Chain A
Amino acid sequence: MSEHKQDQETTHFGYETVNKGEKAGRVADVFHSVAAKYDLMNDVMSGGVHRLWKRFTIELSGVRKGQKVLDIAGGTGDLTLKFSRLVGPEGQVILADINDSMLKVGRDKLIDKGVAGNVQVSQADAQYLPFADNTFDCITIAFGLRNVTDKDLALRSMLRVLKPGGRLLVLEFSKPANPLLEKAYDAYSFAFLPTMGRLITNDADSYRYLAESIRMHPDQDTLKDMMANAGFAACEYHNMTGGIVALHKGIKP
Chain B
Amino acid sequence: MDPTLSTAAFASLERMINSALNYDPASQQRLRQLGNKTLQVCCQSPTITAFVVLEEGQVQLRQHFEGTIDCQLKGSAMAIAQLGLSGQHSLANSGVQVFGSTGLLVDLQSIASDLDIDWEEPLSQLMGDIAGPSLAGLIRKGFGFWRERESAVWQRSGEALSEELHATPHPFELDDFHQAVDNLRDGSARLEAKATKLKQSLDAAIIAAKQGNQPE
Contact = CB atoms under 8 A, between A and B. Distances in A.
A59 B62 contact: yes
A53 B64 contact: no
Interface in B59-103: 62-67
Contact of B66 (A49, A51, A62): A62
B48 to A, nearest CB: 14
A206 B2 CA distance: 30
B63 A240 contact: no
Contacts of A56: 3-4, 7, 63
A167 to B, nearest CB: 10
Which residue, A49, A56, A247, has most C-beta atoms of chain B within 10 A?
A: A56
A217 to B, nearest CB: 19
A114 to B, nearest CB: 16
A56 B4 CA distance: 8
Interface size range on A against B = 10 to 19
A64 B7 contact: no
A51 B8 CA distance: 9
Interface string A55-66: 110011010100
B181 interface: no
B206 interface: no
Nearest to A244: B4
A59 B3 CA distance: 11
Contacts of A241: 2, 4
Contacts of A240: 2-4
Interface in B1-19: 2-4, 7-8, 11
Interface of A: 49, 51-53, 55-56, 59-60, 62, 64, 238-242, 247
Interface of B: 2-4, 7-8, 11, 62-67
Q: Rank and list the top 7 A-B pairs by shortest CB-CB distance, nearest first.
A: A62-B66, A52-B7, A241-B4, A59-B64, A240-B4, A56-B7, A56-B3
Given A53-B4, A240-B3, 15 more contacts: A52-B7, A56-B3, A56-B4, A59-B7, A59-B62, A59-B63, A59-B64, A60-B64, A62-B64, A62-B66, A64-B67, A239-B2, A239-B3, A240-B4, A242-B2
